[in-house]
A and B are shown apart, each in its own frame.
Chain A
C-alpha cells in the first residue's frame, strides 16, 4: 500500500495465487467459447454484423456485457464510494431518446442496409459529409477504446506487484505497461473471433457479470452486518438516487444530465457502432426494438446496482471500520479493495476475472466496430478511388477479411496510445465524462438533425462539423468566458474546466450552426448560383476555402495567438470569425456539392420510413399480418436465392411471391444462430415442406430432420 501524490491510498499485490489460477482458467474458457462461435463467420458481413439473424433475447443479454463493461465496475464503484447511490443515475436516464431510436434511427439503419454511420452521411448528404463523419467517428471510437484500456489497466494494477525481477534486472509495473499487455491479449482474441464470437462470448459473460456483481453485493451486505445496518450507516445524501444539482464540479447532476443523459444517451443509441451492430444482428427491426427496450427498462437498472455496489459497500465499511477501508482509498481502486475484503480466495479471482473479461468484451466490440468503419469508409472507398483491379466476390471478401484483421491490430495500438490523453484525470469517470462532452456533440447533432429534420442540408451538416468543432475548440480554450453562461452555477475547476456541462455548450453551438445554415439555405443557393454565373466564381470559392482553413487553424492555436487571458472583445472577435468561417464553409459546400433536397431524403429520414422499407424489399411492402408456421426442409436444385412453400403454407403466412421470409431452426435456445433470410419463390404442392438450395442449407447450417420455423418479414 502507498500514498499517492493526490492523497489517495493505492494498493498492489491484492489477491492470492488461487485467484490468479481462477482468472487464467476463466479467460481460457471464455476464449475457447468465443473461438468455437468464430467458425460461424462466413464473410465480412458475418464478421461484422453476425448475419442479421438473432433473436432479441440473445442480443439483449449480449449487450449487458458491453454496457456494463463500457460503463465499468471501476468508475461507478469509484463514484458510488465518493457520492453514493447517485452513481446509478447515468444508467437510468436513457429513456428520453428511445422513441427517436426505436422508430427513427433503428428502422433507417436496417432498411437502408448501411454498414456504418458514415455511409448514412453519404447517402443522406454527400461523400464529403461521409469523409468528415468518418474522421470524427474514428476519433470517437478510438477514444472509447482508450477509455476501455485505461479502465482495464486501473482494474488490474492493484493485483500486480509494484515491480518484478527478470534476467537480473528490476522492472517497474506501470499503468501503461499493464495497458499494453492487456491490449495484446485483447487484440489476439478479436482478430480471430469476429462479431458472432463477440455476441456469444458477451452472452455468456452478461450472465456471469450479473451473477458476480450481485454476489459481491450480497457478500458485502452480509459482511457489513445485514441490509438494515448497511442502510442505516449511510448518510441520507449517499442514499439519494440523483446527485446534488450543481456541486461539486467533479460530480453534479446538471452537468452529468447534459453530458450523459443527452449527449451520452444519443451517442450510445445513435453513434455507438458496437451497439448498433448488435441491433443490426437481430433478425428484424421489431426484434431490435425488443432487445433495446428490454435492455434499457430492466438490464440497465440492474446493471447500475451490479457496477456501483462495491463503492456503496466500501463507503459503509469506511464508516464502520476506517482501519479496514480508509476513507481516502483511491476511488478507482475501491472495487478491487472491497471485492478482496468481502470475498474468499478463489471467489475474488472469479469476480476479478468477470470484471476484466467484461471490459475486454467492451473493448473487443469497439475494436470490431471500428474495423467495420475502416473497411467500409476508408478501405473500400480508397480501393475504388485507386481503381484497383476487379476481383471476384470471393477474392474481394478474402482481402477484406484480412484487412479487417490487420486493421483491428492497428486500432488496438491507437487505442493504447489514446490512453495517454486520459490518464491525467483523477478518475476514469471524469475522463469518460470529458471525452463524451467533447467528442460526441458534432456527430450527435448531425445524425439527429439528419434523421428528424427534412430541411437539414449537406451544407448545414458540413458547417455543423467544421464550424461546430471550431466553436467547441474556442470554448475549450476560454471556458470561463464561453462555457460559463451555460454552467448552471457549477464552479469552474481550472485543472479540468467544466468536464460535464461543456456538453451543453458544445451541443448548443453545433445545433446553432446547423439550424442557422439550414435557414439560410435558400439564400446560399441563390448566392452560389450567382457565383457560378460569374467568371471568377471558382477562384472566389477557392479563396473562401483557404480563408476557412486559416480561420480553423487560428481556432486550434487560439491559446497560442491570444494567450491565456485575452480581453472579452478579442475572444468575441474570434467567435465572430468562427461563425464567418461556418458561413463560408456552407457557401462553398453549396457551390461545389450537388444536393437534391428531394432525392437525398428518400427513405433516409423518419418522414419516409415506408419508402425505406420498400427500397429494402425491392418491391411493394406486404404488411398483412400472418402466422409463423413449422416446416420440414428439403434440398432443391434451384440456384437463385429464393425458397419455395406450398400455396396453403404461404396463405397461412399471409405471404405472396417476392415477399421476404425468415427461416430458422425451431430450437429457441439457439436464438437464431441457424437461420437464413430469403425471398419467396413460386409455390409447390407439398404442404409443410420448404424447398431450399444447398447454399442456403450451408448458410443456415440447418441440420437433417430438424424442423424449421418460417415467417414472412414483409
Chain B
C-alpha cells in the first residue's frame, strides 16, 4: 500500500492551499462587485464556479479511491 505521502497528503495540500486561493478569488470578485448577485447571469456563474471546485475535488477523490481499492 502506498504511503500517506503518496495518496492523501497531495490531495489535502492541493485542495487546502488551492482552496485558499479559490476562496480568495470568490471573496474578491464578490466584494469588488465584479460578480453582481442581483444579475441572473451572474448568479448562474457563481453556481458554476462553486460547482467547478467541488467537481475537481470529487474527481481526484474518485481516482485516488479507485487506485487504492479497485
Contact A103 B7 (CB under 8 A): no
Taking CB atoms, residues of chain B closer than 8 Å to A98 are: 25, 49, 52
Is A625 at the interface (CB under 8 A from chain B)? Answer: yes
A297→B32 CA distance, assembly (Å): 25
Select from chain A the residue with minimum beta-carbon distance to B50: A99
Contact B67 A85 (CB under 8 A): yes
Taking CB atoms, residues of chain B closer than 8 Å to A96 are: 18-19, 21-22, 25, 53
Cβ-neighbour of B10 out of A253, A262, A293 (below 8 A): A253
Taking CB atoms, residues of chain B closer than 8 Å to A245 are: 5-6, 9-10, 13
Contact B68 A236 (CB under 8 A): yes
Contact B60 A242 (CB under 8 A): yes
Select from chain B the residue with minimum beta-carbon distance to A102: B45
Is A459 at the interface (CB under 8 A from chain B)? Answer: no
Cβ-neighbour of A297 out of B9, B28, B29, B52 (below 8 A): B52
Residue from A98, A236, A242 having most chain B Cβ neighbours under 10 A:
A242
Taking CB atoms, residues of chain B closer than 8 Å to A102 are: 45, 49
A236→B3 CA distance, assembly (Å): 11
Choose, from A543-551, A602-610, A705-713, the stretch at the interface. Answer: A602-610
A237→B5 CA distance, assembly (Å): 11
A149→B13 CA distance, assembly (Å): 34
Taking CB atoms, residues of chain B closer than 8 Å to A85 are: 63, 67
Cβ-neighbour of A240 out of B6, B32, B33, B34 (below 8 A): B6
Residue from B19, B25, B35, B41 having most chain A Cβ neighbours under 10 A:
B25
Contact A257 B13 (CB under 8 A): yes
A432→B53 CA distance, assembly (Å): 26
Contact A103 B29 (CB under 8 A): yes
Is A215 at the interface (CB under 8 A from chain B)? Answer: no
Contact A609 B10 (CB under 8 A): no
Select from chain B the residue with minimum beta-carbon distance to A84: B67
Is A261 at the interface (CB under 8 A from chain B)? Answer: yes
A484→B52 CA distance, assembly (Å): 34
Taking CB atoms, residues of chain A closer than 8 Å to B19 are: 96
Is A479 at the interface (CB under 8 A from chain B)? Answer: no
Beyond A96-B21, A99-B26, A100-B25, whether A236 also contacts B14 by CB under 8 A is no
Taking CB atoms, residues of chain B closer than 8 Å to A639 are: none
Q: Least Cβ distance of B48 to chain A in Å?
A: 6
Contact B32 A606 (CB under 8 A): yes
Taking CB atoms, residues of chain A closer than 8 Å to B68 are: 236, 240
Contact B67 A286 (CB under 8 A): no
A514→B6 CA distance, assembly (Å): 35
Contact A261 B18 (CB under 8 A): yes
Contact B59 A240 (CB under 8 A): no
Would you give the 0/1 interface string for A103-129, flagging 1 where the beta carbon is closer than 8 Å to chain B?
110010000000000000000000000
Cβ-neighbour of B25 out of A97, A237, A247 (below 8 A): A97
A22→B58 CA distance, assembly (Å): 41
Beyond A98-B49, A236-B67, whether A261 also contacts B14 by CB under 8 A is yes
Cβ-neighbour of B56 out of A92, A609, A623 (below 8 A): A92
Is A515 at the interface (CB under 8 A from chain B)? Answer: no
Contact B22 A95 (CB under 8 A): yes
Taking CB atoms, residues of chain B closer than 8 Å to A93 are: 14, 18, 56
Contact B52 A293 (CB under 8 A): yes
Taking CB atoms, residues of chain A closer than 8 Å to B66 are: 239
Taking CB atoms, residues of chain B closer than 8 Å to A53 are: none
Would you give the 0/1 interface string for A71-105, flagging 1 where the beta carbon is closer than 8 Å to chain B?
00000000000000100000011011111101110
Beyond A236-B1, A240-B6, A289-B45, whether A99 also contacts B25 by CB under 8 A is yes
- Tell me the residues in window 432-483 of chain A with beta carbons closer than 8 Å to chain B beta carbons: 452
Q: Least Cβ distance of B40 to chain A in Å?
A: 7
Contact A104 B1 (CB under 8 A): no
Is A243 at the interface (CB under 8 A from chain B)? Answer: yes
Contact B28 A262 (CB under 8 A): no
Contact B41 A103 (CB under 8 A): no
Is A316 at the interface (CB under 8 A from chain B)? Answer: no
Q: Least Cβ distance of B41 to chain A in Å?
A: 7
A247→B40 CA distance, assembly (Å): 47
Select from chain B the residue with minimum beta-carbon distance to A488: B13
Q: Least Cβ distance of A295 to chain B in Å?
A: 12
Beyond A96-B25, A625-B40, whether A242 also contacts B14 by CB under 8 A is yes
Select from chain B the residue with minimum beta-carbon distance to A612: B34
Select from chain B the residue with minimum beta-carbon distance to A623: B39
Is A320 at the interface (CB under 8 A from chain B)? Answer: no
Contact B6 A609 (CB under 8 A): no
A244→B14 CA distance, assembly (Å): 12
A436→B33 CA distance, assembly (Å): 32
A97→B20 CA distance, assembly (Å): 10
Contact A240 B56 (CB under 8 A): no
A239→B62 CA distance, assembly (Å): 12
Contact B33 A610 (CB under 8 A): yes
Would you give the 0/1 interface string for A274-293, flagging 1 where the beta carbon is closer than 8 Å to chain B?
00000000000010010001
Contact B2 A236 (CB under 8 A): yes
Taking CB atoms, residues of chain B closer than 8 Å to A239 are: 63, 66-67
A443→B68 CA distance, assembly (Å): 40
Cβ-neighbour of A97 out of B1, B21, B64 (below 8 A): B21
Taking CB atoms, residues of chain B closer than 8 Å to A244 are: 5-6, 10
- Offer 11 A-B interface pairs, CB within 8 angstroms, sorted by A: A96-B19, A103-B34, A104-B29, A104-B34, A237-B6, A239-B63, A240-B6, A261-B18, A286-B41, A296-B52, A607-B32
Apart from A95-B52, A242-B60, 19 more pairs, CB < 8 Å = A92-B59, A96-B18, A96-B25, A98-B52, A99-B29, A99-B35, A103-B45, A104-B29, A239-B67, A240-B6, A242-B11, A244-B6, A244-B10, A253-B13, A257-B10, A262-B21, A297-B55, A610-B33, A625-B40
7 closest residue pairs by CB, A with B: A99-B25, A239-B67, A242-B10, A241-B63, A253-B10, A103-B34, A103-B29
